[in-house]
Structure 1
Amino acid sequence: MKVVKTLKHPITSHHRMLDATLHVYQEALSFLITVIQEQFMALEPLSTQAVVTAVERLTHRTRHNPNPLYAEFDRRFYKFPSYFRRSAIAEAFGIVKSHHSRFQLWQAERQHVQQEGKRFSKKPPTLQARHQAFPCLYKGNMFIRTSDRAANIKIFHQGDWVWLPITFKGQDLFKRNVWSMKECSPILVRKGKRYALHIAYEGDVKLTQAEISKQRVCAVDLGLTNSAVCSVMDASGTVLARTFINQAKEKDRMHQITGKLKQAQRQSGIGAKPNFWRRMNGLQTHIVHDTAHRIIAFAKSTAQMLLSWSF
């Protein structure tokens, strides 16, 4: 079984210089979404790889394709890297295809409601051309690692695509348990005013082929009262172990901050107000990460306990 784990490497050297690259990529993505939407009937039965080739023929001018139907793409996005273009085409096709799937579900729901003689007031889904998408920096063409914490990336700067040396924070690959996995091409992600490289690591995990009567499953139920309830069961449904995961301290602090936020929102005026949203988002992120870590720890400890019982 293939497993993928993504690590975040915050960029420490440049931030404002990367804004133009992200802006150009998102503008190109919007343009390609419009093109694919107009040609969707012809592109729908094709595979993603075939769609990339077909849309490139519609938008990109070459010696063998001197007059593309959407020649404006090359004029608006001069010297746009080919790997950026193909990545944007694949992402745009996924967005448009998802929109058509949601529209078909809406039509089926409307037809079902109208057949029952009821009033249907749900609005149809709309295709959004602008998305907060982030580009993939393909290795060798857009991203060249020079050391464990430095690399050269291709960016759009002052009207041209140039190489920019950057530095970023490293990660302990052994501690993150990805040191033996394959490193994939990074994604340039912006959060607020800061940028980071999100690098995915792929690996293979060999699962034990045991009989169904000997298999055990860890079931996780996410709830509102508790963050999660984990139960380990065997094939007959017998619960062998169970745990309740809840962050009472963090949730109580969240409740207090929410009350203070309500009081601050009742007040008017230009005076400075505390940034409660930053604290609330930090608590929510901590609860999510802590819940995931405790689920994994419960599964590992239960597996060790069951192995000791078998002896």
Structure 2
Amino acid sequence: MAKATTTIRQVLTYQANYGDWFASNQALFNQVASFYFDVIQAHINVLDHPNKEALTILETLTHTTQRNPNPVMPLSDIAKDIPAYFRRAAIHAALGSAHSFHSHLEKWRQRKEKVIAKGKKFHQRPPVPPRSWNKSVVLYQGMWKERTENSMMIKVWNGTCWSWIKVRITGRELPADVELGSPQLIRKGTQWWLHTPIEKQFQSPGKIEKQVTTNAQTKICAVDLNINENLAVCTIQTVEGTILATTFMKGGQEISGFRKKQLGRIARNRSLTGIIAENEQDNGDLWKKIRHVDEQAAHLISARIVQFAKRHEATILVFEHLENLRPAKGKYSRRSNTKRAYWMKGRIFNYAKYKAYNMGIFTSRVSPRNTSRECACCHSLIARYDAGQPAEGYTPGAPLAYCAECGMKGNADRNASLVIGQRLIERYHPKEKPQALRRVSKDTGVVVSQDAKCEEGPSILPSGHGDSNEHGTAQDAMFRMDEHASNIPTQLRFLF
């Protein structure tokens, strides 16, 4: 069995004065957490124990009871009559911060020793304890009750005493077949939200290597991410090579056009003054629009990818391992637009990864080298061209592909997605390499030429098959496809 954890976010509806009560409750929580962090610093050996034992030790050091009337560092100096579950939630928050701080401090000391051992000066500053605390309140079982689909009771500190208050809950409902964790009170601006972690158990399909090597009918969903009109092209294929389905997820031109329009406005606004204030965000509303549209598109595309894989019962999701992408030089709006399109591709992968895991689908990545230049049928170099143009050469971002070796014709992005899926299969089913010439010892007196004979010529890409700024299938050319598969879903609509 495997388990997946996600968070259900719900909005709280409450009386006007309850907002101040929530703020006072969070302030007290951070005050108690800061107090216990200081206790841990004074008794550093507490960190050597498991969290459950450390909790008991810290309560013995701070909590007044009949058996322990005089604790070393009484919590009553901070506040009196703090509920046990509120106190323990704050202790766990302090323990997490203490473990993180000392872990970073130990790594800093190790780096310092290595640099000094080499006879060099070490200029990096050491990490410091938290100067301020802004942790959200975790509601353990005793701090809430009577939770329904629409309301719940919460125990909060209103500044003078502890009170039970009833709040209404709106938003996504909690699933029935999951295990609930301790909810948190999260402040977003002036509104308070309730975040509830849920844990779902499912039957694990097994490691990717086991699925690929033991079952020839294992279905793989290979995804080719782009920055042109087709934001994602997905292909379902089995380990034995059968191609079952393909889908094209459009919307790239619409998003790129909206983003370019906002970037043009930002550039014009900057040109009016020529001054950008230091440590201050200019054109905040326009940048916010761009971020929100990119975020929305990334969630929509990643959700559609996972739904497509689940509908066809795929158990593996495979992407290209795209990193360090750099936009081509050019005008500010074009360069910035391309850069944010690359960032959105990273978001799509990250979002699809956790969404797929919640569905029992594992995610992997393969090398992006020449995925858009290789034929999925015979692995020869392909010609990539626009409709109405001769099928020769290589035009980055062009929609059509043609292989002169085997005669394959089709969509270039679909061909790339097939190559991506094949690379995952080849990782666990490597092809037999031709037998190489054995090296002969020099003392035998036999001379062996080091020039390998090859009828196909050197493994250098022909002229016109690549530019220095190309990487994998990421192309910065914008186009509208003239030919596409018949099972393409309707285009995404983004509300700007």
1:36 aligns with 2:40: yes
SS at match of 1:35: helix
SS at match of 1:53: helix
Offset of residue 276 of structure 1: 3.3
Contact kept in structure 2, 1:220 and 1:230, CA below 8 Å: yes
Q: CA RMSD in A?
A: 3.8
Amino acid at match of 2:214: S
Which digits, 9 at most, give the CA deviation of each residue in 1:193-228, with x for residues without a partner?
Answer: 111111122221012356543266668899999988
Contact kept in structure 2, 1:213 and 1:235, CA below 8 Å: no
Match of 1:187 among 184, 188, 205: 184
1:70 aligns with 2:73: yes
Distance 1:216-1:282 versus aligned 2 partners, 3 A rule: same
Which digits, 9 at most, give the CA deviation of each residue in 1:267-288, with x for residues without a partner?
Answer: 599xxx7733543442343244
Q: Tell me how far apart the structure 2 counterparts of residues 85 and 126 of structure 1 sit (CA, whole Å).
A: 25
- Percent identity at matched positions? 26
Count, aligned residues:
296
Q: Tell me how far apart the structure 2 counterparts of residues 171 and 43 of structure 1 sit (CA, whole Å).
A: 40
Match of 1:253 among 255, 258, 273: 258
Contact kept in structure 2, 1:148 and 1:170, CA below 8 Å: no
Contact kept in structure 1, 2:222 and 2:234, CA below 8 Å: yes
Higher helix share: 1
1:286 aligns with 2:283: no
Q: Tell me how far apart the structure 2 counterparts of residues 205 and 62 of structure 1 sit (CA, whole Å).
A: 44
Contact kept in structure 2, 1:134 and 1:187, CA below 8 Å: yes
Amino acid at match of 2:31: E
Offset of residue 135 of structure 1: 1.5
Match of 1:84 among 80, 83, 86: 86
Q: Tell me how far apart the structure 2 counterparts of residues 229 and 69 of structure 1 sit (CA, whole Å).
A: 64
Q: Tell me how far apart the structure 1 counterparts of residues 115 and 246 of structure 2 sit (CA, whole Å).
A: 43
Amino acid at match of 1:205: F
Structure 1 range deviating more: 121-130 or 62-71: 121-130
Which digits, 9 at most, give the CA deviation of each residue in 1:38-74, with x for residues without a partner?
Answer: 212x112200011111111112111111111112x21
Structure 1 range deviating more: 102-111 or 83-92: 102-111
TM-score normalised to the size of structure 2?
Answer: 0.51
Structure 1 range deviating more: 289-298 or 88-97: 289-298
SS at match of 1:300: helix
Offset of residue 88 of structure 1: 1.1
Amino acid at match of 1:67: N
Q: Tell me how far apart the structure 2 counterparts of residues 220 and 125 of structure 1 sit (CA, whole Å).
A: 41
Contact kept in structure 2, 1:149 and 1:170, CA below 8 Å: no
Residue in 2 that maps onto 1:309: none
Residue in 2 that maps onto 1:58: 61
| 1:125-140 alignment, distance < 5 Å | 125-139=127-141
Q: Relative contact order (C-alpha < 8 Å, sep 6+): which is higher? A: 1
Q: Tell me how far apart the structure 1 counterparts of residues 151 and 286 of structure 2 sit (CA, whole Å).
A: 35
Q: Tell me how far apart the structure 2 counterparts of residues 184 and 158 of structure 1 sit (CA, whole Å).
A: 27
Distance 1:50-1:274 versus aligned 2 partners, 3 A rule: closer
SS at match of 1:303: coil
Offset of residue 109 of structure 1: 2.1
Which digits, 9 at most, give the CA deviation of each residue in 1:273-304, with x for residues without a partner?
Answer: 77335434423432442343134234325535
Q: Tell me how far apart the structure 1 counterparts of residues 285 and 133 of structure 2 sit (CA, whole Å).
A: 27
Which entry has the higher C-alpha Rg, 1 or 2? 2
Q: Tell me how far apart the structure 1 counterparts of residues 60 and 91 of structure 2 sit (CA, whole Å).
A: 12
Offset of residue 93 of structure 1: 0.8
